[in-house]
Amino acid sequence: MASLKDLRNRIASVKATQKITKAMQMVAAAKLRRAQEAAEAARPYSERMGAVLANITQAIGGGGDAPALMTGTGRDDVHLLIVCTAERGLCGGFNSQIARLARDHIRRLLADGKQVKVICVGKKGFDILRRDYASLILERVDLREVKTLGFVNADAIARKVIHLFNEGGFDICTLFYSQFKSVISQIPTAQQIIPAAQASATAGAGNGGGAVYEYEPEPGEILSDLIPRNIAVQIFRALLENAAGEMGAKMSAMDNATRNAGDMINRLSITYNRQRQAQITKELIEIISGAEAL
Amino acid sequence: MAEAFKFELVSPERLLVSEQVESVVIPGAEGEMTVMAQHAPVMTTIKPGVVTVKAAGGKEDRYVVFGGFADILPSGCTLLAESAVHVNDIDRADLARRIQDAKEDAADAKDDVARSRAEQFLSQLTTLEGALLPA
């Protein structure tokens, strides 16, 4: 049985922990709001981009001059996986969910005899995937120093990916990230970004689809400029959704932790009070029996 | 007064402008163009330069854009800029950094096509710098 002093120390330490988790929850809530605003602010761009892309694809009509980034290399031997996770932990199952999805994907691809390459964005995904597939990881993008996620960050990643593609480094590129559905639910998602054919097909039937455009310069040239940018936009969106999701997950994880700490304090206080009462009673009995003995 | 139309300037980070305007001057890849209401549908890439927006009230605003696309319809005009800032907020250091990057790109270019493209981009940037910052 723990002594009274032990119990007091326990309670003090749990209280301190609770204060920390509470503070972390509030910080996450504030950051979540900002991340959500950023994700919403970025939405018009990707929507318009989708519409423009659909228009141009229509104009070209899947002709032979569509760039390889759009049509793919015609093979699917080498897969590139971009796994976007958070830089920090303490956010529930957020990182491990994304990593698990990526790991299952890798396992399936390897079983089919494909070659797999991985780019990790964020420290946590790297840490998890490194255990099993260290040899497949090409590189790790570190965004820890980045305070506010800018388009430049996404653009830098996209540039690396496109460079690799042009060198024939891979055939199919899939982006792993967590879709931000609500504060309590983030859905790990795999999205194919190269070749981009499917993505633009779903975005079709945008506004002004009927208009006959003039192109300046040629549609093919615009497209070859547009596709790389679209990839950067997709990555940017994934990063923003991830940022919002991470904060949401962290908020609920810390909320849970705070509540658990509260329960624990309650339980410990009861034990502490009972024991103190028992000790007082014991001392009284000693005094009384001592007085009676006289 | 000229007829107004809807103009939107969007950068990946946010929607900068969304309002009724009279005319917009866009630095198109193949020359500057002024867009007014009822313009024929055009899609064009834009080079680094200054976008001049004349609002329906007659107020003029200028924005610096670094490449992107313009989607022009009779009913409106959408400008997807890779990055855009108001001309008053332009940061000299940032511009200098971009020029430095472009110079490195030009130096690193492997084949002639890439080099000429990089050099073209660089010259567009330096023109822009000259226009913006009266040294």
Q: Which residue has the tokens 């976007």?
A: A84
For residue A197, the model assigns a pLDDT of: 55
Per-residue pLDDT of B5-24, as tens digits, reads 889 898 888 888 888 999 89
Instruction: Name residue A206's amino acid.
Output: G
Is residue A235 within 8 Å of residue B12, measured between CB atoms?
no
Mutation site for A-interface testing, chosen from B39, B80, B94, B121 by largest number of A Cβ within 10 Å: B80
Taking the C-alpha atoms of residue B33 and residue A244, their distance in angstroms, rounded to an integer, is 39
Q: Which range in A45-49, A157-161, A288-292, B27-31 is most confidently predicted, on average pLDDT?
A: A288-292
The whole-number pLDDT of residue B135 equals: 47
Q: Taking residues A207-224, report their average pLDDT.
A: 69
Instruction: Please tell me the predicted confidence (pLDDT) of residue A207.
Output: 45
* Separation between Cα atoms, residue B40 and residue A217, nearest integer Å: 15
Q: Which of B10, B28, B42 sits opposite A48 (nearest CB)?
A: B10
| Burial class of residue A235 in the structure, from the number of CB atoms within 10 Å of its CB (0-12 exposed, 13-18 middle, 19+ buried) | buried
- Whether B113 contacts chain A with CB within 8 A: no
pLDDT digits 0-9 by tens, A12-25? 999 999 999 999 99
Kindly indicate the confidence band of residue A66, based on its pLDDT and cuts at 50, 70 and 90.
low
**Does pLDDT of A208 surpass 60?**
no
* pLDDT tens digits along A245-270: 999 999 999 999 999 999 999 999 99
Q: How far is B104 from chain A (nearest CA, A)?
A: 15
Chain B: residue whose CA lies nearest to A223: B45
Instruction: Tokens for B125, please give them.
Output: 């940037």
Q: What confidence tens digit (pLDDT) does each residue in B57-96 have?
A: 888 888 888 888 888 888 888 898 888 888 887 777 777 7
Q: How far apart are CA A248 and CA B124, in angstroms?
A: 43
CA distance B59 to chain A (A): 25
Least CB–CB distance from A216: residue in B8, B42, B80: B42
A56-79 mean pLDDT: 72
Question: CA A139, CA A254: separation in Å to the nearest integer?
Answer: 31
DSSP SS3 for A226:
helix
Spatial neighbors of A72 by CB under 8 A, at least 6 apart, are A171, A172, A194, A195, A197
Catalytic residue among A84, A91, A120, A173: A91
Contact, A272 vs A4, CB < 8 A? yes
Residue among B43, B38, B40 at smallest CA distance from B4 = B38
Q: Look-up: residue for tokens 């409106």?
A: B76
Query: What one-letter code names the amino acid at A198?
Result: Q
B109 or A286, higher pLDDT: A286
Judged by a CB distance cut-off of 8 A, whether residue A154 touches chain B is yes
Q: Over chain B, what is the mean pLDDT?
A: 82
- The residue with tokens 């509030």 is A26
The complex's ipTM works out to: 0.74
Distance CA A142, CA A91 (A): 18
Higher pLDDT, A163 or A61: A163
Quote the pLDDT of residue A259: 96
Is A45 in Cβ contact with B12 (below 8 Å)? yes
Question: Which residues, 6+ apart, have CB-to-CB distance to A98 below 8 Å?
Answer: A83, A84, A85, A125, A176, A177, A178, A188
Q: For residue A216, which residues of chain B lie inside 8 Å, CB to CB?
A: 28-30, 42-45
Q: How far is it, in rounded angstroms, from Cα B5 to Cα B76?
A: 5
Q: Is A84 a catalytic residue?
A: no
Q: Average pLDDT in the A28-53 region?
A: 86
**Tokens at B5, concatenated:** 């139309």
C-alpha distances in Å from residue A63, one per residue of A154, A218, A220: 29, 13, 9
DSSP string, chain B: -PPPEEEEEE-SS-EEEEEEEEEEEEEETTEEEEEETTPPPEEEEE-SEEEEEEETTS-EEEEEE-SEEEEEETTEEEEEESSEEEGGG--HHHHHHHHHHHHHHHHH--SHHHHHHHHHHHHHHHHHHHHHS--
Interface check A272 vs B, CB under 8 A: no
Range B111-129 average pLDDT: 76
- Average pLDDT of chain A is 85
Predicted local confidence at residue B1, as pLDDT: 54
Handedness of CA B117, B120, B124, B125 (dihedral sign): positive
